[in-house]
Amino acid sequence: MAYYTPPPPDPTAAPVRINLLSDTQTRPTTGMREAIARAEVGDEQIGDDPTVNLLCERVADLLGKQAAVFMPSGTMCNVAATLVHCRPGDEILAHETAHIIAREGGAHAALGGFQITPLSGADGQFSPATFRAAIHPRSRYQPPQTVVSVEQTANIGGGTIWKKAALDEVVQIAKQNGMATHMDGARLLNACVATDISARDMAAGWDSAWIDFSKGLGAPIGGVMAGSSDFIDEVWRWKQRLGGSMRQAGVCAAACVYALDHHVDRLADDHANARALARGLSQIQGIEVQQPETNLVFFKPDGAGVSGDDMVKALRQRGVLLAMMDGRIRACTHLDVSAGMIEETVGLVREIVRGA
Ligand SMILES: *Cc1c(COP(=O)(O)O)cnc(C)c1O
């Protein structure tokens, strides 16, 4: 499976005016930069950075866990989590499109010696029944199944939201079978804003859960992972081993604290823009659009006589950046995308289809 396939560099293309490539493309706002400039800092590695400590307390509380730790990236959160939960030879269960399978450079195998069993299911989610059916009896022949992982929201599934009832059922099955539960919450707050279910409730029963600050929350870097105090102590050991311990990381954490204060409720705007984009695109004959639940819009223009690759290139020519992801075009709304840009994008797609 291919990750983004951004269009090839084209010197004749207009400068990018509308950046729908990813919510990682957000640039720190003026307010965020001011918060960064004012940040009180210390030495994060020895637990002495007040802004990092504040951020970790805020996220532990948000997710309803005992403790939290600041990590340089979401990927490092996932990797450190499985390194704590599993031993070499253990099996992790996750959806077949999961980031931990396809997008982390094989880290879980390379660093931990773990295998990940891909579960199938629509929209990036496996059903509790599929999960239950994948569980085998403990025996000396089969790998110990130690952790189940879900993505909330499911990225390649279309930014879809796991229903709270399904999450609870997965937790229950995992616990009955002695497995740990891990939530890749790169876009957890998108799910919370869209459903009005608190992050604490969404993460209830999950032994480890993290949120990414460098996606829709708009901070330059960082993820924060939460769990029990014992779990977080063990994560710290791996953070140190992986070279993820930092120094005056308060400059980064300040951006994250700012994002918690200013950029959570506004995710609703991104969702409204995603719906508007999907509505506009679906009115163009032949374009197949998955109805968005959050800020990701997946569509296929083939039925309108334009291949996905050609559409991506033609939009790039006109100053709109997005990319193919796993055979479809993904457009991502975020803080630097306005309602006007969405309208303009729909118009450009219509123009490209008309010219085809
Ligand atoms: C982006 C993403 C990650 C990884 O986060 P980084 O901060 O880019 O390392 C993990 N899981 C999902 C679902 C993501 O979208």
The per-residue pLDDT for range 233-280, each reduced to its tens digit, is 999 999 999 999 999 999 999 999 999 999 999 999 999 999 999 999
Q: Do 251 and 273 have their domain in common?
A: no
Q: What percent of the chain has pLDDT over 90?
A: 96
For residue 11, pLDDT over 90 is answered with no
pTM score above 0.85: yes
182 close to ligand 1 (CB < 6 Angstrom)? no
Q: Do 207 and 277 have their domain in common?
A: no
Cα–Cα dist 200/216, whole Å? 19
Provide CB contacts within 8 A for 24, sequence distance 6+: 214, 215
Cα–Cα dist 189/57, whole Å? 17
- Which residue puts its alpha carbon closest to atom 5 of ligand 1? 74
In whole angstroms, how far apart are CA 244 and each of 134, 222, 258?
34, 11, 22
- Which residue puts its alpha carbon closest to atom 6 of ligand 1? 74
Q: How many CB atoms lie within 10 A of CB 16?
A: 13
Matching residue, tokens 């999961």: 98
Cα–Cα dist 267/171, whole Å? 27
Apex 74 CA angle, 27 and 103, nearest 5 = 100
Question: Is 32 a member of any domain?
Answer: no
Q: Do 95 and 230 have their domain in common?
A: yes
Q: Do 146 and 77 have their domain in common?
A: yes
1 band by pLDDT with thresholds 50, 70 and 90: very low
Question: Is 177 a member of any domain?
Answer: yes
**Is 197 buried (19+), middle (13-18) or exposed (0-12) by CB count in 10 A?**
middle
- Does 10 or 74 have the greater pLDDT score? 74
Q: Do 46 and 155 have their domain in common?
A: yes
Q: What phi, psi does 55 have (nearest 5°)?
A: -60, -45
Position 5 scores a pLDDT of 66
The domain boundary residue, chosen from 233, 262, 291: 262
* 32 alpha carbon – ligand 1 mean position (Å): 21
Q: Do 197 and 116 have their domain in common?
A: yes
Q: Which residues are 181's β-sheet partners?
A: 148
DSSP 346: H
- Which residue puts its alpha carbon closest to atom 2 of ligand 1? 186
* CA 261 to chain CA centroid, nearest Å: 20
Q: Which atom of ligand 1 is nearest to the CA of 221?
A: 7
Position 14 scores a pLDDT of 84
Cα–Cα dist 252/71, whole Å? 10
Q: Do 248 and 276 have their domain in common?
A: no
Q: Residue 209: how many CA atoms within 13 Å on its side-chain side? A: 28
Q: Count of domains in the chain?
A: 2
The domain boundary residue, chosen from 231, 262, 293: 262
pLDDT tens-digit series, residues 214-240: 999 999 999 999 999 999 999 999 999
Q: Do 43 and 84 have their domain in common?
A: yes
Matching residue, tokens 């409204």: 272
Domain residue limits at 332:
4-26+266-354
Question: Is 48 a member of any domain?
Answer: yes
102 close to ligand 1 (CB < 6 Angstrom)? no
- CATH code of the domain covering residue 9: 3.90.1150.10
The domain boundary residue, chosen from 242, 262, 282: 262
Position 276 scores a pLDDT of 98
Long-range Cβ contacts of 165-171 (<8 Å, 24+ apart): 166/125, 166/127, 166/128, 167/202, 167/205, 167/206, 168/204, 168/205, 169/128, 170/128, 170/131, 171/204, 171/205, 171/206
Q: Ligand 1 test: best mutation among 23, 75, 221, most atoms within 8 Å of CB? A: 75
Among residues 220, 295, 293, 297, the alpha carbon closest in space to that of 258 is found at: 220
250 close to ligand 1 (CB < 6 Angstrom)? no
Position 4 scores a pLDDT of 65
- CATH code of the domain covering residue 109: 3.40.640.10
Question: Can you read off the two tokens belonging to residue 25?
Answer: 């493309």
- Which residue puts its alpha carbon closest to atom 14 of ligand 1? 186
Q: Do 136 and 271 have their domain in common?
A: no
Contact present, 255 and 220 (Cβ < 8 Å): yes
For residue 84, pLDDT over 80 is answered with yes
Contact present, 256 and 55 (Cβ < 8 Å): yes
Position 3 scores a pLDDT of 58
